[in-house]
Amino acid sequence: MAESEFWSKISEKAKHENRPFFTMAPMEAVSNTVFRQVITHACPPDMFFSEFVYAKAITDPTTKFPVHGRLYMQPGDKMTPVVQLWGNKSEDFKAAALSLKHQGFQAIDINMGCPDGTVIKNHGGTDLIRNPEWAASAIVAAKTSGLAVSAKTRLGYSKVEEYHDWLKFLLEQDVEVLTVHLRTKMEMSKVPAHFEVIDDIIKMRDEIAPSTLIQINGDIPDYQTGLKLAQEHPGLDGIMIGRGVFANPYVFESKPAEHSLDQLLGLLNMQLDLFDEFSQKYDVPRFQALKRFFKIYARPELGATDLRNAMYDTKSTDDVRKILNEKEKYL
């Protein structure tokens, strides 16, 4: 299989700089246009993945999992993300991929790793591990669009050893990028990621699908950790960081620097403004969902615990701005 221009550009640029490519993980109510712009302002990865998007919803707005702005890009959102789709019906992936192509998106990723109960109940995410025929048909259907098609999965559903058969099967489907969260569905995030299987996964890729790029995810807090992993495991192409952004919005800096509380609160003010702009177009996300981000900026190690707690009691972005304007009272 020939690598698409989309992923080959990203991969070749990283190789030229003697490093893996870095991406920000798809995270529900996190990886939207608002937060992507904040991370871009701080320090962008090589590529973003979108929030989870129900494949059927792209062409059928009457579904119980509507798109609700997940595909919207504000004017300042400079990087068109990889759209992560979930579901299990090939006709939904075929229609969604074609629609996304017409909307100007260049790449899609098929969600085979989400452990959420609602997603599994509706036959998406890790339910595809238990039903590999759905995974294969979704990939085939998505490819008909001509877009770059990748997949994100876990090592298995119940046992780590499942990766021997499951990842072999996925590699045989000829996806352009295979992202592996190094835990099983049942492990959730309760155990350390299984870094010990990385070399075996790379060996499988080299034998089965040498043109498929391998990206890993799980317990990678920052750029430096990802770079070290790639150096320790030759052949590893990409590093995906998820929850690390909640510890540090500058997580993709190649040379880590100290960032002041004022810098961090500047990012928060940017997010508040972008959130208000987005809210004028869509009724989601609600303000309550914004509160999960406060811990990113008002950090205890910078003496901002009281400031953060005060923001948790707010009911609007204007309330937050008022506290930020009087932040000295809380520091």
pLDDT of residue 283: 81
Q: Which residues are catalytic?
A: 114
Q: What's the number of CA atoms in the CB half-sphere (13 Å) around residue 160?
A: 13
Both tokens of 208, joined, read: 């089965």
Average pLDDT in the chain? 96
C-alpha pair distances (Å), 9 with each of 46, 47, 156, 303 = 10, 11, 30, 42
Both tokens of 274, joined, read: 């972008």
Condensed to tens digits (0 to 9), the pLDDT of residues 276-324 reads: 999 999 987 789 999 999 999 999 999 999 999 999 999 999 999 999 9
pLDDT of residue 3: 60
Report whether pLDDT(1) > 60.
no
Condensed to tens digits (0 to 9), the pLDDT of residues 156-186 reads: 999 999 999 999 999 999 999 999 999 999 9
Report whether pLDDT(2) > 60.
no
Condensed to tens digits (0 to 9), the pLDDT of residues 128-153 reads: 999 999 999 999 999 999 999 999 99
What HEC string does 173-207 produce?
A: CCCCEEEEECCCCCCCCCCCCCHHHHHHHHHHHHH
